[in-house]
Amino acid sequence: MLKSRKDKSSVSLVCKEWYNAERWSRRNVFIGNCYSVSPEILTQRFPNIRSVTLKGKPRFSDFNLVPANWGVDIHFWLVVFAEKYLFLEELRLKRMTVIDESLKFLVRSFPNFKAISLQNCDGFSTDGLAAIAADCKTLVFLVLCVLFRLTCELQRLRFEGVHKLFEGCSSDASLIFGEHVRIRKQLWLTSHRYRFFIIGCLVTITVSQLGALLLVLASISDKTFFNSGDLLICSAVQLSGFMLCLVGAARITHRAQGIVAIATRWHLLITE
């Protein structure tokens, strides 16, 4: 199979059969000028595109030689792509105008979308980037794991407070027992939530990795890092998040065992 898009374009000029073969087999397309072709013609020429590279303003726009509202808006391209390219996975834009509504529309319209590149693009803000980040399931999973680790650290600091309470209040038994009952109730509630969260993380990693592996193996294209490397990156991120959860839970367990030891020593001092 031919790899270069220029070679594929040359082959399509040989005969009608090769033209149709190149039409249905093409998965990525490069457009050097967004005004050279309309999105309707593009979708009619290549109905199975997965990756689109689109350039807008000319290069001298980098030197402020093009008016601010010159055009090259990506939104009307996305509207056509949403109807024809439902399985679009990658979009690379250069010197295009991309507003926040376009980024939000991109997230809603393409369920299999994986990567976007905005090189020298303008018009968007952090709200649009936040919409993309919120739809990134791997990133959301990592954020949840980080929050779990922070919660574990807060619980460990609470154990530190109980540890100091045992050391500083050797005679006030009512205060010790009251704090013991309070923290025991809290630990009984949080321990079940932590357990469910860790089990849920394990199930999520197993299911997502199995599904991604099946999709990669089902693809008839050659397996390279560029077309299947997202599986490796997703695995590394998910395993890193899971390790954060396990380390946080282990630190809580270690500190709880320390509380048991000092509580035993306190009980011996009180009963003597």
For the chain, the structural domain boundaries read: 5-135, 137-271
Q: Which two tokens stand for residue 57?
A: 């303003």
Architecture of domain 5-135: Alpha-Beta Horseshoe (3.80)
Specify burial of residue 42 (Cβ count, 10 A radius: 0-12, 13-18, 19+).
buried
Query: How far, rounded to the nearest angstrom, does the alpha carbon of residue 78 sit from its chain's CA centroid?
Result: 21
CA-based end-to-end distance of the chain: 86
pLDDT at residue 1, rounded to an integer: 61
pLDDT of residue 269: 64
CB within 8 Å of 116: residues ≥ 6 apart: 90, 91, 92, 93, 106, 132
Token pair belonging to 122: 């303008």
Q: Say if strands 28-31 and 90-94 run parallel, antiparallel, or are unpaired.
A: unpaired
Specify whether the CB–CB gap between 107 and 132 falls below 8 A.
yes
Crossing angle of helices 126-135 and 100-109, rounded to 10°: 10
Nearest to 137 by CA among 233, 222, 246, 46: 233
Full pLDDT tens readout for the chain, 272 residues: 666 767 777 777 778 887 888 888 888 888 888 888 888 998 988 888 889 999 888 777 666 766 666 767 888 899 999 888 888 888 899 888 888 888 888 888 887 787 888 888 888 888 887 777 666 666 667 677 777 777 777 777 777 776 676 666 555 666 666 766 777 777 777 777 777 877 887 887 787 777 767 766 665 555 555 455 566 667 777 777 778 777 777 777 776 666 666 666 666 666 66
| Count of CB atoms situated within 10 Å of the CB of 17 | 8
Give the type of residue at 106.
L
